[in-house]
Amino acid sequence: MKKKVTKIGVLTSGGDAPGMNACVRAVVRTGIYYGLEVYGIVRGYTGMVENDIYKMESGSVANIIQRGGTILKTSRCKEFFTPEGRKKAYDNLIKLGINGLVIIGGDGSFRGAQTFSNEYDIPCVGLPGTIDKDIAGTDFTIGFDTAVNTAVEAIDKIRDTADAHDRLFIIEVMGRDAGYIALHSGIATGAQNVLIPERKTDIEEVIKQLEEKERRHKLVNLIVVAEGDEFGGADEIAKIIKARLPIQDVRVCILGHIQRGGSPTCFDRLIASRMGYSAVECLMEGKFNVFVGMVNNRMHFTPLNEAVKKKQRISEEWIKIVKILAS
């Protein structure tokens, strides 16, 4: 697969993340700088299967760096995960002469890229576009900083009304399989508890802590819970607490998809731009079938077949920090 790449396709796949547009912009303009033709693939792998592909110019990505979402759209394509679907996708790329791909997405998107590159002679480079920050091999993912800052801003406002009414608020943030948004936003807003999928929730300990705070007349409490917590999210936690502590004035707030949208932060724009630039450099230099991340502020390259096997693990130190600072 050490062939010269002359035409590249770029796509965004899986859940959208703020900063994807900045990344697409970087891929397109870096590719054009090096004399490559760049094609936008619409709706992720669906666009590859359905031949929804168009040539992009420098002007195609003007005025998008500040926009959330993705101008290329995104979807989850079941057909691509069949041999017949991947064959259609390959034939469509070959018709256009596309001989390199940049995939911006999460681990599911990388699995698709790995399978596709194993079957056909199209080199792929993966970039971590996901608000969950759950991909091993990078300190940050595109969209995480924006999503967690959106959550922090919302929780700060909720704390104001919690304080005014002496209430317990249980706030649900995104994170079906990963608790990074809950963990970071919980620490940053002074939450009394952070409940995440990676760690078994001790509901008795939660109740015990709330009872202790009642005795100390600390009536303003925040619990941040990831949607993938084993108890089923904020609503289920609230039911248990209301049944066990009827004196508590409990409210639930589910932040939902506001965490996905919005203008990306400066940090997300910077890492997205840097990663997009590096992806094109990889294809130019023959670094094929890798995932491009950032570790200790340096670009870090992980083979795709390793990237799809590993999850970013939450350090026990973070859990300890939550416990100590909430006491």
Residues with a catalytic annotation lie at 132
Tokens representing residue 5 in the block: 């790449």
Amino acid at 17: A
How far apart CA 282 and CA 39 sit, in angstroms, is 17
How far apart CA 169 and CA 187 sit, in angstroms, is 15
Q: How far is CA 77 from CA 27, 43, 132, 226, in A?
A: 23, 9, 20, 26
Contact 312, 135 (CB under 8 A): yes
Residue 104's contacts (CB-CB under 8 Å, 6 or more residues apart) are: 10, 11, 12, 13, 20, 23, 24, 70, 126, 127, 129, 142, 276
Spatial CA neighbour of 72 closest among 113, 11, 143, 25:
11
Q: Going edge to edge, which strands form the sheet with 221-226?
A: 193-195, 221-226, 168-173, 250-254
Tokens representing residue 294 in the block: 């950032």
